[in-house]
Amino acid sequence: MEKPEDVKFAVLGAGNGGTAMAAHLKKMGVQVRLYDRFWNAIEAIKRQKGIFLEGRLGNGFYRMDLITNEIREAVDGADIIMVVVPAFAHKYIAERLANYIQPGQIVVLNPGRTGGALEFAQIFGSKLEDIYLCEAQTLIYASRKVKPHKTKVYGIKEKVGIASLPSHKINRVLHLLNRFFPQFVKWDSVLHTSLRNLGAVFHPVPTLLNVGRIEDKKESFDYYIQGISPTIARFLELVDAERISVAKAFGVEAPTATEWLKQTYNSEGYDLYECVQHTRAYMGIKAPNKIRVRYVTEDVPMSLVPMIHLGKVAGVETPNMQLIVELASKLLRKNYWESGRTLKDMGLEGMNIQEIIEFCRG
């Protein structure tokens, strides 16, 4: 695999992130197979035979090597499988991927949210020994699918943490992955990627606290720049402080959301509100037009709920996180405590702090 064209990527998911990644990879000259289980997500792409890309990565059309809703076709013989689906779809993908995963293949969750790789590992079982399972802390791109076959990249992160399960396998992964994504940097374990999950902070709160504005539908507004007011930013800082406390209890040094913006996007500002206002990658990203979106349906059950469960193991109180889970459950009429990712799902049930730390190191 000395030449880019010899490397085979499978991108699972044809949403905002998946289409950006597939087009970007094709721009780099590798073989790309794009999969989505929903035909309407890939119909226009299949008709065009590829994806139109615009924005920070330049403008152009990139033809895919395969576009399919058959996961077997997508992953057969692939060197690297990039899972770019909302975390609530992780279980579905893992159960199907387990039937076709081959020894030596690399699987990367982009991102894992909280405990994604751990849930995959439970489903893969003994097959985990022969593969390389990893999760990224966040998605590399700030992007949106502007048409069914066109994606715009607003920004690309300078550094994204990545870890493997077990942790010692990450060097083999980065040896290949950094050829295409130098942004990926090694982190100690999947606890680090899970507890430095900023989606838990930036996604549910602004969506839920802007519910009236979103459902009014009379205006389109920038999700981050206009949707995060000074008051909302202050509440985000409270949620973020709980995340940092949970992380600290498990020996993970986690930057604040403000520090993360400065490190990731070179944002400037005294506090979180100011940093958001000066984050170029967020400019132009519009708010959703409905409340039932992945910022809630993904990040409440798959980011906040498992983080709260980990907090309980460590004796860390998370009243603000719990408030958001309750609010989301009431507004969307769904019990996210029941549908959220549990300690059992992650294979951590009955463990104490030290046992969880050791288990995540592998």
Quick: pLDDT tens for 84-110: 999 999 999 999 999 999 999 999 999
Question: Looking at this protein, which amino acid is placed at residue 240?
Answer: D
- Both 169 and 38 in one domain: the answer is yes
CB 160 within 8 A of CB 140: yes
3-state helix, strand, coil in the chain (%, to 5): 50, 15, 35
- Both 204 and 255 in one domain: the answer is yes
DSSP 175-228: HHHTTT-TTEEE-S-HHHHHHT-THHHHSHHHHHHTHHHHHH-S---BTTTTTS
User: How many domains in the chain?
Assistant: 2
- Mean per-residue pLDDT, 233-237: 98
Over the stretch 264-322, which tens digit does the pLDDT of each residue have? 999 999 999 999 999 999 999 999 999 999 999 999 999 999 999 999 999 999 999 99
Residue 32 binned pLDDT confidence (cut-offs 50, 70, 90): very high
pLDDT value at 2 more than 80? no
pLDDT value at 4 more than 90? no
Q: Is-catalytic flag, 299?
A: yes
- Burial group, residue 246, by CB count within 10 angstroms (0-12, 13-18, 19+): buried
Question: Looking at this protein, which amino acid is placed at residue 359?
Answer: F
Residue 362 binned pLDDT confidence (cut-offs 50, 70, 90): confident
Residue 359 lies in a domain: no
CB 44 within 8 A of CB 51: no
- The reported pTM is 0.94
Catalytic residue among 149, 299, 309, 345: 299
- Mean per-residue pLDDT, 73-80: 97
Q: Which residues contact 193 (CB under 8 A, 6 or more apart)?
A: 111, 112, 117, 135, 136, 137, 161, 162, 163, 187
Residue 219 binned pLDDT confidence (cut-offs 50, 70, 90): confident
- Mean per-residue pLDDT, 163-169: 97
- Both 181 and 231 in one domain: the answer is no
CATH of the domain at 249: 1.10.1040.10
Beta bridge partners of 31: 8
- Both 218 and 334 in one domain: the answer is yes
Phi, psi of 115 (to 5 degrees): 85, 15
Over the stretch 313-338, which tens digit does the pLDDT of each residue have? 999 999 999 999 999 999 999 999 99
Catalytic residue among 203, 240, 309, 345: 203
**Tokens of residue 147, six digits:** 């048409």
Of 144, 169, 195, the residue at which a domain comes to its end is 195
Residue 261 lies in a domain: yes
Average pLDDT of the chain is: 96
Residue 356 lies in a domain: no
- Range(s) of the domain holding residue 260: 199-350
pLDDT value at 1 more than 80? no
Of 131, 161, 195, the residue at which a domain comes to its end is 195
Q: Which helix (H) or strand (E) holds 107?
A: strand 106-109
- Mean per-residue pLDDT, 145-165: 95
